[in-house]
Amino acid sequence: NPTETAALRFKAPQEGQTVITDLIKGQIVFENNVLDDLIILRSNGYATYNFSVVVDDGLMEISHVIRGDDHVNNTPRQVPLFSALGFPVPQFAHLPMILGSDKTRLSKRHGATSVLAYRDMGYLPEALVNYLVRLGWSHGDQEIFSMSEMVEHFDFKHVQASAAVFNPEKLLWLNAHYIRHSDPTHVAGALRPFLHQAGYGDEAIARIPGGAEALVP
C-alpha cells in the first residue's frame, strides 16, 4: 500500500562466519546465524546509524575505522553492508575503553569528560593530547612526547587490548610539566582568557610588568 510506511531491512547472511582482523584485538570471528536482518531505514524515512556510517565511510573512501571497543558488535553488521554496496571493507581498530578510578566506565560522576571542560580548567592542549595518547599505549618507559614523536612512534601493535584507567593526578603532573617547560609566550597566551574571565582586560594585563608572561612560573 503506497500510503503506508514501513521500515526497510537488510537481509543479513545466515551461513558461515564474518571474520575481522582487528589491528588491536587480532582476529575476531562472528557466527552469521546470530545476526538479525538489520533495519537500515526507519518507517519515518530516517536512516539508521549502522547504515549511515557505512555509506558515509564508503563515499569518503575511509581506509581505517578507529573507534572504541564498545562498537565491536556493530562490526559484523557493517561489514556485509560495505560488501553489498560495493565499497571496500576498511580496516578496523577498536581502542580500549577508558575507565574511572573505580574501574567503571568513565562518566560525569568521575569529573570532567569533555576536551573543552579540561581546556576551561586550565589544561594545556599538548598535555591533554600526551596523556590521552599514553592511555593504553606505550613506547618503552617514555612518558613525555612531543607531537612529532607521537606521530613517529605510535603503532597499533603497542596499543593494549584491555581497558585503561583514567588517572587525574597523572594528567595534573603532565600539565605542570608542560607549563614549566613550554615557551612562556605560549603559556601566557593560554593564560590570557582566564585573566579576561577574572575581569582583567587587555589594558590591565598590559600594565602588569612583563605582561601575562610575568605570571608564568
- Which residue numbers are catalytic? 108
- Close Cβ partners of 113 (under 8 Å, ≥ 6 residues apart): 106, 107
What distance, in Å, lies between the first and last C-alpha atoms of the chain? Answer: 73
CA 195 to chain centre: 31
CA 10 to chain centre: 29
Give the three-state DSSP class for 40. Answer: strand
d(CA 174, CA 145): 10
